[in-house]
Structures are given as C-alpha cells and as structure tokens.
Amino acid sequence: MIPHVSRLLELWRIAAHYRLDTLFPAEELPEKARHALSLIRMLHPAAWSSKERKNPLKLKEALEEMGPLAIKLGQLLSTRRDLIPPEVLQQLVLLQDRVKPFGSDVAQMRIQQSLKADINTLFARFDEQPLAAASIAQVHTAALHDGREVVVKVTRPDIRQQILQDFEILEWLGAALEKRLEAARALHLSEIIQDYRQIILNELDLTLEADNTRRMRHYFTGSSMMYVPEVYMDSKDVMVAERITGVPISDTATFDRLGMDRADLAEKGLTIFFTQVFRDNFFHADMHPGNVFVETINPNNPRFIALDCAIMGELSKHDQMTVARMLLAVMNSNFMQLIQVVHQAGWIPPGTDQDALAREMRRTVGPMVSKPMHELDFAGILIQVMDIARRFHLEIPPQLMLLLKTLVHVEGLGTDLYPELDIWKLAKPILTDWIKANMNPVKNVKEIGQQIPDLLLGAQDLP
C-alpha cells in the first residue's frame, strides 16, 4: 500500500516543477520502469505547461522546497562520492539549511515543557529573536542567573512526525526500486536508507548531541589547540550551552588584520583532525565553515572552537588500520597494495576485475601522486579514489565515507587558510606512531604477514 498519498503527490509536484525526472535517462531503465516514467511525465504538471517543460533541472532548489528530510539527505549524500555522479554532487554541495524561524512563544513553550521549568526560572534573560533557524532546530541567545551567556537550541515543533512520514515514503520507494532495478539492489538501497534514517533521527535527539559535545570536551580539556563549549542543560528537544565568541574560519581578513600566523592555524586544524581519528577514535564529521570558529583573544596562540557535535564518526580498529594502510599505499603509488587493502576490507564485490581496478587507480591517481609532496592535491586524490569506487561498485562502509568526506573538508579549510599546507608532513608522525602502537608483528603475523615492514617503512618514507 502506498503510504501518505497526499504528501507523495506534493513531493511529485515539486519534483515535476524542478524537472527531477530528467535525472533518470529513459534509455538506461528497464522496460517497465520506462513505461512508469512515461506515465509520470504525462501526468505531472510540466506536461501541460510549455513554461514548465523549459525549466532546467534544479536539484538543489527541489530538495530545499521538499523540506527537512530532503535537505538533510541531500547534505549527507553529498559525502557519498562512491554512489553519486559528479554532476549531481555539484548541486548537492550547494544545499542551504536555512528556513523561516518559528515563533518565540512556541520556542519558549517547548523549552518550558522539555526542561520542566518556567522560562524565567531557567534564564535571567531570553532573547526572542532567534540567532539562527534551520530545518531541524533554531537557536536563541540567553543568560543564566549567574550571568553566564548561553545559546539555547530548540527543535522545531512536529519535526519528528514530518521526518518519520517522509521516511515511510522513502522506504516504500526504496523497496519498490529494489524489486524492479538491479542497480538499486546492487547499491543495497534499503540499507542505505536505513543508515541515513538512524543518522537523521539521532540528530533530532539533542541529548545525543549534548553527550557528543561533553565527550569531545573531555578529550580536549586543557588543550591549547581546540576549545569545546560546555553544555549546561539538555533534553530531547532542548540544549543549553556556553555561548562562545570567535571568528569564522572563513574570515581570513580578520586573521591577517590581527597578525595571526595562518600557516600555524592551518597546521593546528589538521593536527586536531588526525588526533580525533587516531588518538580518540571520535571525530567531528560536519566540519563546514559554519561550525568552525577561531578564538582570537591571544592572536599569537589561537584556538579552534568546535560547534554542533550532532554528527560524529567512530571507526573500528580494523577500519582505522585500513585507513592508515590506504593512505600509505596511495602516497607510495603502490596501487596493487591499495587493492589488496580494499580486498581484505571486504569492499570489492565478487567478480570484480581487480587488475582493471588497479589499472584505473594507476591511470587516474598515479599522475596526481607523482608530483612533489608540496604540490599534491590531497582532496583531489581522495575524490578520484571515491569516484573509482563508485564506478566499480565498491561497498565502502558509511562511517569510512564519512571520514573521507570530512578529511576532504578539513584539507579544504586548511588550504584556504594556507595554500602551501603540506598535509602529509603533518600526518606522518601521527600515522607512524599509531601504526607502531597498534600493530604487534608477532600477534598479527598470520593476518598481515609481510605487509608489516612495508607499512612501517612506508610511514618512515613520508616527508
């Protein structure tokens, strides 16, 4: 049975207006799917209006109009270069999660109900004008009775019901596609939908974000590199945290005006990321410029400030080792070793031509890694590797794709600060120390064999 027909028709109308049907080339679809698409094209409004028929494909605008789930899914899928074609990714990365705020009276009512106290008991001052409004929550500024300035994050009313309803439609659509399309079955489409369902539902629970923030704060207590704001109160729908003062990471003009060392700042940022991945195994996976600020109280020793810990990543020890081995194999231009690592990780589907995969890696990535270290485009290398993974249908775990996406973003932030940034010079000591600490040659000789000296020598060869 088709769920939520009226909502499905609304999504259909939006898809038609923005020509999302053109995402599916009819000649590549099975006969039944072609007939269904033809029927959709006949029935949707664009078939009746010459103006609508001339509309270009606007995926970004369509997803923003479809609502919170579409926006969040688009943002998450923008990390899946192993699944999504480049021309679609170009539109997904432009998604903006900005919506009209809901009323302050509604926000205050939700705060009081959620924290079980009157607004005047909770705060000495509550600012009615929101600081920011997004699809899942909005943020107000306030002050506690002891004078501490805080930000109050409040989820939107009925947001959980809206997202669950849209997921029911999406799950029905995914199951229908898997029954009819081999490509959908090969992608494990229903599993992908379930993975993202859990990620987004977790983001609706602010107690999880509060726990993530406290955990990150614990790891960086006393750090001279990064500061994580303190959480004072939290519930499923409300989080009250310390208000920080900082400069957005993109405001390089302010850094220059204050005489800050941008190279040092960029190196700190990358060191923080590798520390999160290999020391803490707990990394911030939403490192866009709006979530990264810099404390400039002491311009000679600035600290990063991490906000919005809703989406975090963790890897198993096996995946951590896989990442380290992959990075070293790429940097040593040893593509057969890279394929071995990927094969041992279980990501290569049966029947894949591994020699062809290695040749494609060598052809595409080889020229990029043959450059001097200071000229390497590390993000470009990862993007090419992920594109090859998509074309060869490699089954890379979502958490690892989250890590690779975050690494691309972090390197981008770093090179924006300091274009000559050498990511490998910074990564070497962290990777080398982690491999030596976590690889016992006697214990793991049967599993890893001769790869142990290769890995350690490879780590030592990094500049």
Give the mean model confidence (pLDDT) for residues 336-345: 84
Q: Choose the weakest-confidence range: 32-36, 157-161, 213-217, 456-460.
A: 456-460
Residue 427: its pLDDT value, please? Answer: 77
- Higher-confidence residue of 218 and 428: namely 218
Provide the total of helices (H) and of strands (E) in the chain, helices listed first: 22, 12
Whole-number Å distance between alpha carbons of 316 and 327: 17
- Reading the block at residue 59, the tokens are 């995926």
Give the mean model confidence (pLDDT) for residues 305-320: 89
Dihedral sign for Cα atoms in the order 223, 224, 226, 230 = positive
Angle between helices 189-204 and 68-77 (to 10 degrees): 120
pLDDT of 458 higher than 70: no
Give the mean model confidence (pLDDT) for residues 173-182: 82
Residue 234 — φ and ψ, nearest 5°? -160, 155
Q: How confident is the model at residue 182 (pLDDT cuts 50, 70, 90)?
A: confident
- Give the model confidence (pLDDT) of 232-260 as tens digits: 999 999 999 999 999 999 899 999 999 99
Neighbours of 118 (CB within 10 A): 11
pLDDT of 361 higher than 50: yes
- Reading the block at residue 420, the tokens are 């000559």
SS3 annotation, 51-103: HHHCCCCCHHHHHHHHCHHHHHHHHHHCCCCCCCCHHHHHHHCCCCCCCCCCC
- Give the model confidence (pLDDT) of 218-227 as tens digits: 999 999 999 9
Which residue bears the tokens 């939290």? 234
Give the mean model confidence (pLDDT) for residues 174-202: 81
pLDDT of 352 higher than 70: yes
Residue 419 — φ and ψ, nearest 5°? -60, -25
CB 361 within 8 A of CB 385: yes
Tell me if residue 240 falls in helix, strand or coil: strand
Which residue bears the tokens 């690592």? 341
Residue 71: its pLDDT value, please? Answer: 86
Q: Which amino acid is at 453?
A: P
Q: DSSP alpha helices (H): ranges in 276-334?
A: 317-331
- Reading the block at residue 169, the tokens are 């439609």
Neighbours of 236 (CB within 10 A): 13
Closest CA relative to residue 189, chosen from 31, 323, 80: 80
Q: Choose the weakest-confidence range: 44-53, 245-254, 316-325.
A: 44-53
DSSP 24: S
CB 354 within 8 A of CB 343: yes
- Higher-confidence residue of 307 and 196: namely 307
Residue 459: its pLDDT value, please? Answer: 45
Neighbours of 213 (CB within 10 A): 25
Give the mean model confidence (pLDDT) for residues 174-195: 79
- Higher-confidence residue of 196 and 32: namely 196
Q: Which amino acid is at 85?
A: P
Dihedral sign for Cα atoms in the order 34, 36, 42, 44 = negative
Which residue bears the tokens 């350690």? 456
Counting every residue written for the chain, the total comes to 463
Residue 298: its pLDDT value, please? Answer: 93
- Give the model confidence (pLDDT) of 98-151 as tens digits: 778 999 999 999 999 999 999 999 999 999 999 999 889 999 999 999 999 999
Residue 463: its pLDDT value, please? Answer: 38
Whole-number Å distance between alpha carbons of 269 and 292: 10
Whole-number Å distance between alpha carbons of 423 and 374: 9
Q: Choose the weakest-confidence range: 168-177, 297-306, 403-412.
A: 403-412
CB 365 within 8 A of CB 379: no
Instruction: Report the catalytic residues.
Output: 286
Percentage of the chain surpassing pLDDT 90?
33
Residue 373: its pLDDT value, please? Answer: 54
Q: How confident is the model at residue 401 (pLDDT cuts 50, 70, 90)?
A: confident
- Reading the block at residue 295, the tokens are 């404390």
Q: Choose the weakest-confidence range: 325-329, 350-354, 375-379.
A: 375-379
CB 120 within 8 A of CB 111: no
Whole-number Å distance between alpha carbons of 384 and 326: 14
Give the mean model confidence (pLDDT) for residues 160-171: 92
- Reading the block at residue 191, the tokens are 């599993």
Give the mean model confidence (pLDDT) for residues 397-420: 82
Q: How far is CA 166 from CA 95, 162, 198, in A?
A: 19, 6, 14
Q: How confident is the model at residue 334 (pLDDT cuts 50, 70, 90)?
A: confident
Residue 41: its pLDDT value, please? Answer: 56
- Give the model confidence (pLDDT) of 276-310 as tens digits: 998 899 999 887 777 889 999 999 999 999 999 99
What are the residues whose beta carbons fall under 8 Å from the beta carbon of 18, sequence distance 6 or more?
Answer: 55, 57, 58, 59, 61, 62, 65
Residue 234: its pLDDT value, please? Answer: 98
* Mean pLDDT of all residues belonging to the chain: 82
Whole-number Å distance between alpha carbons of 450 and 45: 63
Tell me if residue 259 falls in helix, strand or coil: coil
Give the mean model confidence (pLDDT) for residues 322-334: 77
Residue 56: its pLDDT value, please? Answer: 58
DSSP 279: I
Residue 453: its pLDDT value, please? Answer: 46
Residue 38: its pLDDT value, please? Answer: 61
